[in-house]
Structure 1
Amino acid sequence: MFETVIYEMRDSTAWITLNRPDKLNAFTAQLNKDVATAVRSAAKDKEVRAIVITGAGRAFCSGQDLGDVDETTDYGDVLRNRYNPMIMEIEKCEKPVIAAVNGVAAGAGMSLALACDFRVLSNKASFVQAFIHVGLVPDAGNLYYLPKLVGHAKALELAVLGEKISAEECLRLGLATKVVAAESFSDEAEAFAGRLAAMPTKAIGLIKRNLKSSWETGMADFLERDAQSQRIASQSHDHKEGVQAFMEKRKPEFQGF
């Protein structure tokens, strides 16, 4: 089904592995397309309750494969036709999306990680805003997500200076959800994804939706959104299970609907 990614189910989690390890998982048109298609498929699959995006080999994603473009390439069209659809599939997905950053995430690879809801980093991983080093602007949603995570001033600093950001610095800045030892990275990432997959998926989707709208919605409209969301959540199976489990003093068993 896919040429450049490995798509597999592990319990209730869809794992999407960028699979161009010899090129540090650099983006080509096919890889952009495969990631977008894989995320869309996982989002629609009722059996999927969490999504993990990671990289094969020693890198997460090194950004655009420069061998896939040339001096005649219109980079605006590349973004409109390839990157933007990929990022929008992640943006509109209401299931938790985790970037399991196993190695370097540079350029658009960093943008991909920023678009995810959570970022679990190996202690050997790093982020690099590589765009400035070739006279380009961070793209693929990079500057949309970055200031929301670290603030305007720090986002400008990272984008303009283009310095390597270690895993520990990512954690300090709020770019990483957690940093784990490289030796136990796979197990830790799988455990984190499993934790999210066992939670009330519908409520997570509503939380994601409301947080995103909070940046551009007035208080009165947002409070109405609160009411609408809570009405939907309160009618879910998982809410009823949560209340029942509380009354029975047991751990709830959420089903994701």
Structure 2
Amino acid sequence: MSEAVKYEQEGGVVTLTLNEPETRNALSPAIIDALVAYVAKINADLSVGCVILTGAGEGFSSGGNVKRMQDRNAAPAQKAPVDIRAYYTTGIQRIPLALHTLDAPIIAAVNGAAIGAGCDLASMCDIRIAARSAKFGESFARMGLVSGDGGAWFLPKAVGLSKAYEMTFTGDFVSGEEAARIGLVSKVVDDENLLEEAHAMAQRIAAHPVHSIRMSKRLIRDSHHVSLPVALDMAAASQALVQTTHDHKEAVQAFAEKRKPKFEGR
């Protein structure tokens, strides 16, 4: 697998580190390919209880590569609109589609700047923790662009419609503290404690039965798009599945015996 994204597993926690600090982890084709491949790998691996996504170097992700934009704009022949559309659908848009289907919970540990598509990438994660130095910006308007990677779908779910409009229309940068105030992140921690805090939370999540956690994530994700009766039916079907697992029976037995349960992912 490409070193564009580092994959490390400790117990039930996988850490994915965007690893192109020379571009401030701009979302290159190599990063896109690696993220999509790792999502498929994690979905097939029930030993993974939680995922952390972070960036190498001083920033989380700068989103688009401005140097590549300059090269593209300097080219004598511009691409046709249909080709630009295909560039997005076969490129960066594979990230939101992949992360939206990731079964395991994912925490964004946002170090430094998360700008443009980098801000959108953070909003695609289930939980976000920010370093005090973190900075968020839905900055596409500054470049005469729109969010081409699904930010218009993910960001309002994180901060609400009014704040998503404000961030998009103004292009203003948001500090880690402000991000916590508006609900974009769950908490802000000192820079040196960011990964420690993210790992502690991930370990608490991964300590629970994997089927219960993954089905709970799916219920929360999918219930927003269906009617209440359909959501209740989905919940009943999921409950019917988890109640037959070994880990559920072990949890009940351990509770009765006043001991710590030993979950096996089955």
Is the pair's TM-score, using the shorter chain for normalization, greater than 0.5? yes
Corresponding residue of 1:233? 242
1:26 corresponds to 2:18 = no
CA contact (8 A) 2:52 2:106 kept: yes
Corresponding residue of 1:91? 100
Quote how far apart the aligned CAs of 1:213 are: 2.0
Q: Which amino acid aligns with 2:263?
A: F
1:160 corresponds to 2:185 = no
The CA distance in 1 between the partners of 2:106 and 2:247, in whole Å, is 20
The CA distance in 2 between the partners of 1:82 and 1:139, in whole Å, is 10
Structure 1, residues 99-123: CA drift from partner, whole Å, max 9, x if none? 1111110111111111111111111
The CA distance in 1 between the partners of 2:187 and 2:263, in whole Å, is 24
- How many matched pairs? 257
The CA distance in 1 between the partners of 2:45 and 2:157, in whole Å, is 29
Q: Percent identity?
A: 37
CA contact (8 A) 1:28 1:68 kept: no
Task: Tell me which moved more, 203-212 or 15-24.
Answer: 203-212
Q: Which amino acid aligns with 2:176?
A: A
1:65 corresponds to 2:65 = yes
The CA distance in 1 between the partners of 2:67 and 2:264, in whole Å, is 45
Quote how far apart the aligned CAs of 1:251 are: 3.1
Quote how far apart the aligned CAs of 1:97 are: 1.0
Corresponding residue of 1:119? 128
Q: Which amino acid aligns with 1:91?
A: H
The CA distance in 2 between the partners of 1:149 and 1:186, in whole Å, is 22
Corresponding residue of 1:16? 16
Structure 1, residues 138-177: CA drift from partner, whole Å, max 9, x if none? 2312111111222211111111111111111111111112
1:102 corresponds to 2:111 = yes
The CA distance in 2 between the partners of 1:188 and 1:203, in whole Å, is 23
The CA distance in 2 between the partners of 1:124 and 1:101, in whole Å, is 9
* CA RMSD of superposed structures (Å): 1.6
Corresponding residue of 2:222? 213
Cα distance change, pair 234–3 in 1 and its aligned pair in 2 (3 A): same
CA contact (8 A) 2:107 2:125 kept: yes
1:50 corresponds to 2:53 = no
The CA distance in 2 between the partners of 1:146 and 1:241, in whole Å, is 39
TM-score, structure 2 length as denominator?
0.91
TM-score, structure 1 length as denominator?
0.94
The CA distance in 2 between the partners of 1:13 and 1:117, in whole Å, is 15
- List gaps (5 residues or longer) in structure 1: none
Task: Tell me which moved more, 57-66 or 44-53.
Answer: 44-53
The CA distance in 2 between the partners of 1:62 and 1:20, in whole Å, is 11
Greater Rg, structure 1 or structure 2?
2
- Could you say what secondary structure the match of 1:36 adopts? helix
